[in-house]
């Protein structure tokens, strides 16, 4: 089941974040500031995939109401990968955001993520040179139509 994250999920989100990414990215405070606190013109939200004893993955995004959605982060704990959890998280986000385009950046070497996004109808619309560090790498910018 996918549901909105609460402050109680932050420790689990940080565990999955830290095991999933090569470079330090977001702190617990960053994620805390992204917990959904009601709709506004621009609002953040985090969804979590709940399992029996905790959460298996999360998705974090910003929604610009009626205009655009930006997927900021998604990760699934290694033990729960390849079960359709990331696909369910992205589909949940697209439903939450409504009929607006969704954009994201992804390392160009991240084949699992690229396969995930392409399978959900995202296509590449550009590149950001040296967007990532540790290791330095370009980002591909992907977008889906509503
Ligand atoms: C990318 C990631 C979120 C995918 O999570 P997941 O729950 O395993 O993905 P799903 O099971 O929903 O897979 C959906 C589709 O994505 C593709 N995919 C997922 N993992 C893949 C892999 N290791 N190799 C190739 N394709 C893969 C497949 O097309 C898959 O469909 P299929 O299983 O029917 O073939 C996960 O590997 C992860 O957390 N990686 C580390 C963090 C990261 O890179 N996040 C993305 C940042 S942009």
Choosing from 105, 108, 111, 132, the catalytic residue is: 105
Give the pocket of ligand 1 (CB within 6 Å): 20, 74-76, 81-87, 106, 110-113, 115-116, 119
Q: Which residue among 82, 120, 132, 143 is best mutated to probe the pocket of ligand 1, counting the most ligand atoms within 8 A of its Cβ?
A: 82
Buried b (16+ CB within 10 A) or exposed e, 42-74: eebbbbbbeeeeebbbbbbbebeeeebbbbbbb
User: Count of CB atoms within 10 A of residue 85's CB?
Assistant: 20
> Could you give the count of Cα atoms lying within 13 Å of 129 in the half-sphere of its Cβ?
0
**Pick from 18-22, 30-34, 121-125: least confident:** 18-22
Residue nearest to atom 21 of ligand 1 (CA): 112
Q: Report yes or no: 60 and 73 within 8 Å, Cβ to Cβ.
A: yes
Q: How many CA atoms lie less than 13 Å away from 3 in the CB half-sphere?
A: 10
* Radius of gyration in angstroms for the set of CA atoms belonging to the chain, rounded to a whole number: 14
pLDDT digits (tens, 9 = 90+) for 31-74: 999 999 999 999 999 999 999 989 999 999 999 999 999 999 99
Q: How far is CA 22 from CA 49, 54, 56, 119, 133, in A?
A: 22, 23, 19, 24, 9
Residues 3 and 51: beta-carbon distance below 8 Å:
no
Domains of the chain: 2-144 (3.40.630.30)
| Given 17, 117, 132, 137, the catalytic residue | 117
Q: What percent of the chain has pLDDT over 90?
A: 93
pLDDT at 22: 81
The predicted pLDDT at position 78 comes to 97
Residue nearest ligand 1's atom 22 by CA: 112
pLDDT at residue 92 tops 90:
yes
CA of 19 to the centre of ligand 1 (A): 15
Active site residue 105: yes
pLDDT tier at 145, thresholds 50, 70, 90: confident
135: confidence class by pLDDT, cuts 50, 70, 90: very high
Q: Name the nearest CA neighbour of 27 among 10, 42, 4, 40.
A: 10
């Amino acid at each position: 089941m996918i549901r909105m994250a609460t402050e109680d999920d932050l420790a689990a989100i940080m565990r999955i974040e830290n095991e999933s990414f090569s470079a330090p990215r977001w702190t617990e405070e960053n994620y805390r500031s992204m917990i959904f606190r009601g709709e506004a013109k621009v609002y953040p939200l985090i969804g979590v995939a709940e399992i029996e004893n905790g959460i298996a993955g999360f998705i974090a995004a910003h929604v610009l109401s009626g205009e655009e959605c930006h997927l900021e982060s998604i990760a699934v704990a290694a033990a729960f990968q390849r079960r359709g959890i990331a696909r369910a998280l992205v589909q949940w986000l697209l439903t939450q955001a409504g009929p607006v385009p969704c954009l994201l950046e992804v390392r160009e070497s991240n084949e699992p993520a690229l396969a995930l996004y392409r399978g959900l109808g995202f296509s590449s619309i550009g590149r950001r040179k040296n967007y990532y560090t540790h290791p330095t790498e370009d980002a591909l910018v992907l977008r889906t139509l509503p």
